[in-house]
Amino acid sequence: MKIGIIGGTGFVGSHIVDKLCSDGHEVRLLTRPGSEHKAPTHTAVTMVSGNVADETSIQACFEGCEAAIYLIGILREDPKAGITFDALQRRGAERAITVAQEAGVRRFLLMSANGVDEAKTPYQTTKLDAESALKATSLEWTIFRPSVIFGDPQGRMEFCTQLKSDLIESPMPAPLFYKGLLPTDAGGFALAPVHVDDVAAAFAAALVNPQAVGQTYELCGPDALTWKQILQTIAGATGKRKLMLPAPADLIAPVAGLLDGFSWFPVTRDQLVMLLSGNTCSDDGFARLGLTPRAFTPSALGYLSGNG
């Protein structure tokens, strides 16, 4: 199958491209000028130069394709560079959906995020808007809502690598965020980290499964772990012991809001809001696709110390 992919040069996208190529598919990959070095190197990949703001670029990417995949997602905005949730997660997706219909693309897979129904942040609302736009079409759509994704970053930004750098290796104690006045459950909110290769397998499986059309899949790892357990696992995977102390979200949030535009500050206000809400699944999307995700263990995090 020939597949047009937007967002295939990022962390998750590169793994999805690898999986699709290994399954024998042909990929047309939209690549921003200057980012060609980020594209996965496969003989089955054709790079199409352009960007998601340009309809002509998307048309070229989707030319002759039976399926399209939209993967773009960002965690931090940079408005001066045109990097905003609205531009990339909503308008970019809507533009790709429109072009796909006009180009005669039959199948459309969209990367969303678990927890977007809460619609508490621009990240969530723009993802939710993209879902709604896709559902309103006649395309044979499938939507994926993964929890936090971990795995070999292949030189890109990744959840555990970032936590290792920003929190575990920092000389400061790691923060156990909590709501309210008393730290009765500091770091007790739960996430269900999911391996990037399992996410890629879900995309590949759904692409060729007629029963996946019109379905939304929540993708979580097999275990719901507290923030504290996640930090302990990352520290253990790198052979470290880390001091952790309660950190009141009500005091940190205003500071994070002021420093949202600085990449050196480890968390934005919106990220803090979403973290404290937790990120676990109510639906076992992997089971519905006949897949079994791997656990979040020190051995699965071997890449953090160069052993994976």
Read off the CATH number of the domain in which 84 is found: 3.40.50.720
Residues 6+ apart with CB under 8 A from 113: 73, 123, 124, 127, 145, 146
Residue 303: the pLDDT is 94
Instruction: Please check whether residue 70 lies inside any domain of the structure.
Output: yes
Residue 217, pLDDT above cutoff 80: yes
Residue 261: the pLDDT is 66
What integer is the mean pLDDT of 127-140? Answer: 98
Instruction: Specify whether 106 is located in the same domain as 180.
Output: no
Instruction: Please check whether residue 138 lies inside any domain of the structure.
Output: yes
Instruction: Please check whether residue 35 lies inside any domain of the structure.
Output: yes
For residue 105, count CB atoms less than 10 angstroms from its CB and return exposed for 0-12, middle for 13-18, buried for 19 or more: buried
Instruction: Give Cα separations from 71 to 15, 171, 264 (angstroms).
Output: 11, 35, 25
Q: Does residue 7 sit in helix, strand or coil?
A: coil
Instruction: Specify whether 140 is located in the same domain as 243.
Output: no
Instruction: Please check whether residue 289 lies inside any domain of the structure.
Output: no
Cα separation, 224 vs 279, in Å, equals: 9
**pLDDT, tens digit (0-9, with 9 covering 90-100), for 17-51:** 999 999 999 999 999 888 778 778 888 999 999 99
Residue 75: the pLDDT is 87
Number of domains in the chain: 2
Instruction: Give Cα separations from 104 to 17, 64, 192 (angstroms).
Output: 22, 8, 37
Instruction: Please check whether residue 286 lies inside any domain of the structure.
Output: no
What integer is the mean pLDDT of 107-117? Answer: 96
Domain limits at 250? 159-191+223-279+295-303
Cα separation, 172 vs 162, in Å, equals: 15
Instruction: Specify whether 186 is located in the same domain as 209.
Output: no
Instruction: Specify whether 135 is located in the same domain as 173.
Output: no
Instruction: Specify whether 21 is located in the same domain as 129.
Output: yes
What integer is the mean pLDDT of 70-96? Answer: 93
Q: Which amino acid is at 173?
A: P
Sign of the torsion formed by the C-alpha atoms of 254, 258, 260 and 266? negative
Instruction: Please check whether residue 104 lies inside any domain of the structure.
Output: yes
Instruction: Specify whether 268 is located in the same domain as 200.
Output: no
**pLDDT, tens digit (0-9, with 9 covering 90-100), for 247-300:** 999 988 888 777 666 666 778 888 889 999 999 998 899 999 999 999 999 999
Q: Are 57 and 63 in contact (CB under 8 A)?
A: no
Instruction: Specify whether 70 is located in the same domain as 141.
Output: yes
Residue 283: the pLDDT is 86
Instruction: Specify whether 87 is located in the same domain as 205.
Output: yes
What integer is the mean pLDDT of 145-156? Answer: 94
- Among 32, 294, 276, smallest CA distance to 302 is for 294
Residue 259: the pLDDT is 66
Instruction: Please check whether residue 69 lies inside any domain of the structure.
Output: yes
Cα separation, 122 vs 89, in Å, equals: 10
Residue 137: the pLDDT is 97
Instruction: Specify whether 249 is located in the same domain as 127.
Output: no
Instruction: Specify whether 126 is located in the same domain as 174.
Output: no
Instruction: Specify whether 6 is located in the same domain as 115.
Output: yes
Tell me the pLDDT of the chain averaged across its residues: 93
Backbone φ and ψ of 245, nearest 5°: -130, 150
Tokens 């309103």, located at residue? 136
Instruction: Specify whether 63 is located in the same domain as 187.
Output: no
What percentage of the chain carries pLDDT values higher than 90?
A: 81
Q: Strand 45-49 relative to strand 140-146: parallel, antiparallel, unpaired?
A: unpaired
Paired residues of 191 in beta bridges: 225, 279
Residue 12: the pLDDT is 96
- Among 284, 304, 179, smallest CA distance to 236 is for 304
Question: Which of the four pLDDT bands, split at 50, 70 and 90, describes residue 200?
Answer: very high
Instruction: Please check whether residue 22 lies inside any domain of the structure.
Output: yes
